[in-house]
Amino acid sequence: MPPSIPERDWKYLRRIQPEMLAALCARINGRTKALLDAGGKSEHEIYADVFQHIETSDRIVAECFDDWRRSAIWLKIPLLRREGLLTDDHLANLSDDVHALLERFRMLAGEDGEAEG
């Protein structure tokens, strides 16, 4: 049976989900603008860079925000943290259960330190 997070945490994550999605989209859009404004490249090279960026970004958006259900959120939390969307300020509002979940993922991934955020 997959881990479950407390109701309080789920409600909080649902509340901050639009904020995290907006932050990710702003980052993606900013990088896209920078690619479009890149000098010294042909139009085709710029197109190829933007296309690759959008493909990669679309995967990140899907990993972090598709299937946003309480039963699947435990898989999203480490991804949100990895992408810098679930910040230290956000974590301060989450239970010890979520902190323990992140620690288990860190241990499984062989990471030594905290993710930035």
Block means of pLDDT (10 residues each) for the chain, 117 residues, are 83 98 98 93 96 98 95 92 96 93 84 50
Residue 71 lies in a domain: yes
Residue 103 lies in a domain: yes
pLDDT score for 33: 97
pLDDT score for 109: 78
pLDDT score for 107: 86
Q: What is the DSSP string of the chain?
A: ------HHHHHHHHHHHHHHHHHHHHHHHHHHHHHHT-SSS-HHHHHHHHHHHHHHHHHHHHHHHTT--TTTHHHHHHHHHHTT-S-HHHHTTS-HHHHHHHHHHHHHHT--SPPP-
The residue behind tokens 């990088």 is 31
What is the span of the domain harbouring residue 80? 7-109
pLDDT score for 115: 44
| Number of separate domains in the chain | 1
Residue 116 lies in a domain: no
Residue 117 lies in a domain: no
Residue 97 lies in a domain: yes
This prediction has a pTM of: 0.85
